[in-house]
Each structure stands twice: as structure tokens, then as C-alpha cells.
Amino acid sequence: MKRVLVVAGLFAMVALCFLFMWRVNGKVLAEEKSPPAQAIIRVRQLQPNPFTIGGLLGLGESIYRCEYYINRSVPMYSSQSYSGESFFPSHIKIEWKEASVAEVLLDECVKFECKNGDWRRLDD
């Protein structure tokens, strides 16, 4: 009986560690690779407070981070984040204009442009 409790406790701790890691790293919502080059744009949903009960359950406001990678084998080169009150995008579009220029649209209302890793927000 004691062995079963120890195994169940260890299993619960491992599951909680995986849940923490998943919330800290965020959820990838969209990813697009540039056609001629190896550059990658990822849009990730992050919890501002991942170590709270609401953060672990994915409740409340989120931060949406657009990330630029030179290629898959290197760490993130640059990023641009957006957090809006009650903003939960249902459609994310990443469009490469050139090999080093991309546009990211979050629900057609928030638009970012990335040129060689330099981000700026575009206002319509």
C-alpha cells in the first residue's frame, strides 16, 4: 500500500513538472518558414503568471509573442509581444513578402512586420 502511494505521488510530481514546463514555454499557435531561406516566424501564447492556478489552467489574459528564428538550429533571434484586454485571436496569419520580410496578422486587427529580425507594429 505504501509503495502505491509513493508511485502515485511521483507520477503526480512528474505530471505537474510537465504542466509547468508546457505553461512556461507557451503554446505555439502558428509557425511559418520563409520559402527560399531558413528563417522561421512563430506565434506563441504565453501566460503572464504561469505558476499560479489560473496560469496552469490557462485562464485569464495571455501574451501573444511573435518570434523570429534565423533557422531551426539556433535560439530565438528577436520577438515582439502583444497583450490586449480580452484579446483572444481566433485567426493568425503569417505571410512572407520576401525572404527576409514577413507580416503577422492577429485577427486582422493587430499587424506586425519583421525585416531581418527587426519588428515594428503596423497601424492601418
pLDDT at 120: 92
Is 43's pLDDT higher than 90? yes
pLDDT of residue 1: 75
pLDDT range class, residue 56, cuts 50, 70, 90: low
Q: Measuring CA to CA, how many Å separate 46 from each of 33, 64, 66, 95, 99? A: 21, 6, 11, 22, 27
* Residue range(s) defining the domain that contains residue 7: 2-122
Range list of H helices, the chain: 2-25, 53-57
**What is the tens place of the pLDDT at every residue in 17-39?**
776 676 667 888 999 998 877 89
Q: How many domains does the chain divide into?
A: 1
Using DSSP's 3-state secondary structure scheme, residue 94 falls into: strand
